[in-house]
Amino acid sequence: MNMATEKSNTRLPSIEDTAQQERFKQLKRTSQSFLQNTLSVVGLLMILILVFAATFAPLIAPYPDDAGAGVHFDRASQPPSLEHPMGTDTTGRDIFSRVLFGARLSLMMGVIVLSIAISIGVTLGLIAGYIGGKTNSVIMRITDIFLAIPPTLLAMAVVAATGASLFNVMVAIAFSWWSWYARLTQGEVLSIKEEEFIESSQALGSNWLRTTFKEVLPNVLSPITVKATLDMGFVILVGAGLSFLGLGAQPPTPTWGAMIAQGRNYVTTFWWIAVFPGLAISFAVLGFNFIGDGLRDAFDVEVN
């Protein structure tokens, strides 16, 4: 054991180290309390089922071809049965299979939209926070405007202007969603800036990358995680609304919203066509809401 190692062993723990230790402890406590919450665990299971269904849809679906266009008039409009757990629609397609494939679309849409929204939002927030001054005000004004516009309407407007397709829908929704993440990140950067040990702007300038990863991001991580989880649910809801209006992926793509729209005409007779896709939507959103709610409570425990 030479002098060098001895010396490093007696170094006092830096503020960053203890902060990291604190964060690990907090993380442990948060996950513990999260898992103790029944609803959170149920939500987690629900989403796992959803992800499983979406990933293995081609393998699980009893009639995978029905996910596209398919005409089997011999089994059209059948009520739910053992062969067709969710019945068949007016062209004879198995609804259960279509719902499974719809899960893929919904999940994919949610993930992509949120990835875009969070990336844009956090980046803009960082820029606004670090550069400050006029850039900050401009970016924040824009953020406020976007925050004020109801996302469904904005998304609708964008899709109406650009044409109805799954891709456009995703871009449209992401377009309205980034603002909250920007606002949050910018706030965090500003509060870090105010902290005393990073007072001089030179220190901030040279270390900004490090500061971002060590200070800003860990702090915004928990509210972003909570919101992102809840947002997955909302994005799916908004997407479903748009598909319902015919603004999403075009038929025969089995988006849940479009399936409900089709089923709407047969409400008095073949109720299952509209009901089951909606159940799927509710299932997915509920799962995300359970998790998000549980996360929010778990993180709140720390604040207490």
Which segment (52-60, 83-91, 135-143, 154-162) binds another protein by CB under 8 A?
154-162
Query: What is the b/e burial string over 6-43, where b = at least 16 CB atoms within 10 angstroms of the residue's CB?
Result: eeeeeeeeeeeeeeeeeeeeeeeebeebbeebeebeeb
Kindly state whether residue 293 participates in binding another protein, applying the rule CB under 8 A: yes
Q: Which of 131, 150, 191, 195 binds another protein (CB under 8 A)?
A: 150
Q: In the complex with another protein, which residue's Cβ is closer, 158 or 216? A: 158
Cα separation of 79 and 56, whole Å?
Answer: 25
Kindly state whether residue 264 participates in binding another protein, applying the rule CB under 8 A: yes
Kindly state whether residue 48 participates in binding another protein, applying the rule CB under 8 A: no
Kindly state whether residue 126 participates in binding another protein, applying the rule CB under 8 A: no
Beta-carbon neighbour count of residue 160 at 10 Å? 13
φ, ψ dihedrals at 66, nearest 5° = -70, -10
Which segment (52-60, 74-82, 142-150, 172-180) binds another protein by CB under 8 A?
142-150
Q: Closest approach of Cβ 152 to another protein, in Å?
A: 6
Which residues, other chains included, contact 6 with Cβ-Cβ below 8 Å and sequence gap of 6+? none
46-51: long-range contacts, CB 8 A cutoff, minimum separation 24: 46/283, 46/284, 46/286, 46/287, 46/290, 47/284, 47/287, 47/288, 47/291, 49/287, 50/103, 50/107, 50/283, 50/284, 50/287, 51/107
By CB under 8 A, what part of segment 188-247 binds another protein? Answer: 233, 237, 240-241, 244-247
Hey, what amino acid is at 173? I
Cα separation of 219 and 116, whole Å?
Answer: 20
Q: Which of 99, 118, 285, 295 binds another protein (CB under 8 A)?
A: 285
Q: In the complex with another protein, which residue's Cβ is closer, 128 or 237? A: 237
Q: Closest approach of Cβ 28 to another protein, in Å?
A: 13
Name the residues that contact another protein, by CB under 8 A.
Answer: 39, 145, 148, 150, 152-153, 156-157, 160-161, 233, 237, 240-241, 244-247, 257, 260, 263-264, 267-268, 271, 274-275, 277-278, 281-282, 285-286, 289-290, 293, 301
